[in-house]
Amino acid sequence: MPADPLTLGGIALAILFAGSIKGAIGIGFPAVAMSMLPLMIPPALAITILALPIVVTNVQQVFTTPGWPAVIRRFLPAGLTIVVVTFFVSRSLELASASVMEVVVGVSLILFSGAALFNIRIPVNDGVAWQVAAGAVSGIIGGLSAVKSPAIIYTAALELPRDTFVAAVGFLFLCGGVGLLTGLATTALLDTQTFLASVGATAVALAGFALGSEVRKRLPLAAFRSVLLWMMMLLGVRAIAVNLI
């Protein structure tokens, strides 16, 4: 963990901002955080710090949404697949090079922001085969970047009612967070120091979530969401360019 106050302050502000985005628009905590944190710390450390906040913020999202038990039963195949695949993939994080991880993060950001900006829809259904496929791809990308962009592309393509969509996304992200946290717990990345940092990040993320919930009542969210997504797209392109060119 970095010890200088400037870097620590930057990390806290990035997590606060990411939490506020999730509070304002309901999605985007790991995507926003991973668009900024690798500019200050190694990607593997950023993912480790985010593991616990991802779990906690999505617990809050799932279990406060009406109809969540039925949503969990409906998307259980995808959720279980994401847990298992993310668990095994995340165990390789300590072996992956920083440049490879930054490219994966960049691809994840482009997929996430592109799907939202251009309203990408693919002909899918909620059958077991599609759920397992979506869960596996989400687990691979999420295990290496903490950003489970295929999960949101898949659920958006199903054109679910709003509450069902919010609960489904939260459940799949929660499953990815559980897989990530438990996988990292078997590695040297999640030690006492990084776990305490993750606990602190959780408190900051929850404060940001509360702030974002208040902001949602006052800001024109459509314009704000568009600017944010374009920013994430550009940061994703940057992450790929600086590591491949």
Question: How far, in Å, are 42, 43, 44, 95, 143 from residue 98 at the CA level?
Answer: 7, 6, 7, 9, 14
Number of Cβ within a 10 Å radius of residue 192? 7
Two tokens, residue 148 = 């489970």
Q: What is the pLDDT of residue 69?
A: 95
Among residues 144, 151, 33, the alpha carbon closest in space to that of 91 is found at 144
Number of domains in the chain: 1
Asked if residues 82 and 139 have their Cβ atoms less than 8 Å apart, the reply is yes
Per-residue pLDDT tens digits for 75-96: 999 999 999 999 999 999 888 8
- 17, containing H or E segment: helix 5-25
Q: What is the pLDDT of residue 84?
A: 97
**pTM metric for this prediction:** 0.86
Report CA dihedral (176, 37, 190, 134) to the nearest 10 degrees: 20
Query: Which amino acid does the sequence have at 52?
Result: L
Among residues 70, 65, 69, 33, the alpha carbon closest in space to that of 52 is found at 33
DSSP string, 30-98: HHHHHHHGGGTS-HHHHHHHHHHHHHHHHHHHHHTSTTHHHHHHHTHHHHHHHHHHHHHHHTTTTTS-H
Domain span including residue 218: 5-244
Angle ∠(17,230,133) on CA atoms, nearest 5: 90
Number of Cβ within a 10 Å radius of residue 179? 29
Question: How far, in Å, are 30, 45, 48, 237 from residue 41 at the CA level?
Answer: 15, 7, 11, 18
Give φ, ψ of 12 to 5 degrees.
Answer: -60, -45
Q: What is the pLDDT of residue 75?
A: 97
Query: Which amino acid does the sequence have at 174?
Result: L
| Distance in angstroms (rounded) separating the CA atoms of residues 234 and 229 | 9
- Per-residue pLDDT tens digits of the chain, which is 245 residues long: 676 888 999 999 999 999 998 887 777 898 889 889 988 999 999 999 999 999 999 998 899 888 999 999 999 999 999 999 999 999 998 888 878 888 888 888 898 888 878 877 778 899 999 999 999 999 999 999 888 888 888 988 888 888 898 899 999 999 999 999 999 999 999 999 999 999 999 999 999 988 887 876 776 767 767 877 887 788 889 889 888 86
